[in-house]
Amino acid sequence: MPATKAILIVIDGLTPAMFEDAVERGSAPALAALAERGEYRRAVTVFPSLTPVCLSSLATGAYPDVHHIPHLVWYHRGERRLVEYGSSFAALRRAGARRGIVDAIFRMNEEHLSRDAETIYESLEDAGRVAAAVNIICYRGRTPHVARIPGLTRAAHGPRRFFYFNLFESDETGAPFRVGARHLGANDRYAAAVGRWLVTRDGFDVLVYYLPDYDFASHALGPDAAHAALARSDAAVSALIDAAGGIDALLERYAVVLCADHGQTHVERSASLLERFAGVDDLVVTASNRAGMVYDLRGHRARELAERLDGDPATGVACFLEDGELVARSADGEGLDVLAEHPDGVVRALAALRNPNAGDVLVSAAPGFEFADLAGRHHVGGGSHGSLTAGDSEVPMLAVGLGPPPARITDVTPLLLDHVGVERPAYARSLSHVG
């Protein structure tokens, strides 16, 4: 009898090349055991290829035009302020930036994530099934949970089984957690302890199991060097296998999808996108990693602003909407042809620009470049992501017990809902849609 439940494992920032190499050489035994029993392909993520955008697409099956999460950092037109989700919850919590914490933890799910999008947890629990989420920052569900930080009384609505960096814990699992040791895999170890507890109890219909620590190491070391971090992510996957009593016992109960949210590429130079707009009034530039956005507060200068990036070595593609039509410019000129070299380039650029929270001009960085963030930080000498290029945009996609793996990360949630017999949201009734 085929498994009727499912687990989605997301290893943040894992590139297809690293996954394939680790499976081939046997250096990630848990991943290899899954790969041996499943079907694999390279799949494509959304644009900008940044964690909050990609995880929202994974959790909802929607492109950004539907889910409305535009970037790591963006300008809220209604509230006339910047929203900064931060690179990680652990980093935010450590920095103690209260507004950033509230934006990243609460408002992203309560306010910024569109009500037109439906998370996999909402779909499941509306159908009377049990959803579980570990550490994933796109968690919106129907069950209120109170934070475990003294003085923070605000409740978050998550799935029934909800574990979020030990800030929210729906059940007492005894999982240990230490903030700030991300480079040593503290988040993945926490996930492993919770995952072991959940699988031991068979406590869910679908578990979304998010492992953030690999991305952190890959940013620092570069996209082909974070072998130790991948070994720790692999150990967290092993914890699920062990809890079930072995790989075959696990797969008797659960179908599995294992993927990343985006890739990473080498960074050799950093650039300031803001500097390109020196002397221009009524505009906001938000940039970090390998994607930037320009908000024209006058509302009619998108072309003029995009043209200012002509000849900028850090700009790979600048795109905008003109009378509702997509326009893309690069060193090769203007036209949709400049998107042809990027996977799903036209569809992804259009979905990004049709997001009401996005800037009027979206900038995909040229290979090797990174845009410095608000604090001037960058990852020169390491890895980054965010652009339309294949290296940032392609992810490993492994499906076990589900037939052929999805070609796009937006197709993961629809596939899992089909598998457990729960109806998809209306916008996801056909595969590979764009709204």
State the residues that interact with Zn ion by CB under 5 A: 12-13, 51, 215, 261
Using N-to-C axis directions, what is the helix angle for 412-420 and 51-60, rounded to 10°?
A: 30
Which residue, 63 or 204, is less far from Zn ion as judged by CB?
63
* Cα gap 191→198, rounded to integer Å: 10
Question: What's the Cα-to-Cα distance from 388 to each of 299, 302, 319, 363, rounded to whole Å?
Answer: 25, 19, 11, 9
Using N-to-C axis directions, what is the helix angle for 227-244 and 213-221, rounded to 10°?
A: 160
CB 271 within 8 A of CB 63: no
Which residue, 196 or 219, is less far from Zn ion as judged by CB?
219
Give me the least distance between CB of 87 and Zn ion, in Å please: 9
Give me the least distance between CB of 264 and Zn ion, in Å please: 9
Give me the least distance between CB of 55 and Zn ion, in Å please: 7
Give me the least distance between CB of 213 and Zn ion, in Å please: 11
Among candidate residues 101, 408, 63, the one with its CA nearest the CA of residue 257: 408
SS3 294: strand
Using N-to-C axis directions, what is the helix angle for 29-37 and 16-25, rounded to 10°?
A: 90
* Cα gap 120→410, rounded to integer Å: 12
Which residue, 12 or 122, is less far from Zn ion as judged by CB?
12
Q: Residue 246 corresponds to which tokens in the numbers above?
A: 């072995």
Helix (H) or strand (E) holding 59: helix 51-60
Tokens 């190499």 belong to which residue?
21
Which residue, 261 or 392, is less far from Zn ion as judged by CB?
261
Give me the least distance between CB of 52 and Zn ion, in Å please: 8
Which residue, 261 or 370, is less far from Zn ion as judged by CB?
261
Torsion angle, alpha carbons of 84, 85, 89, 95, to 10: 0
Give me the least distance between CB of 13 and Zn ion, in Å please: 5
Beta bridge partners of 270: 370
Q: Residue 402 corresponds to which tokens in the numbers above?
A: 């589900």
Which residue, 48 or 292, is less far from Zn ion as judged by CB?
48
Give me the least distance between CB of 262 and Zn ion, in Å please: 5
Which residue, 71 or 329, is less far from Zn ion as judged by CB?
71
Cβ-closest position to Zn ion: 51
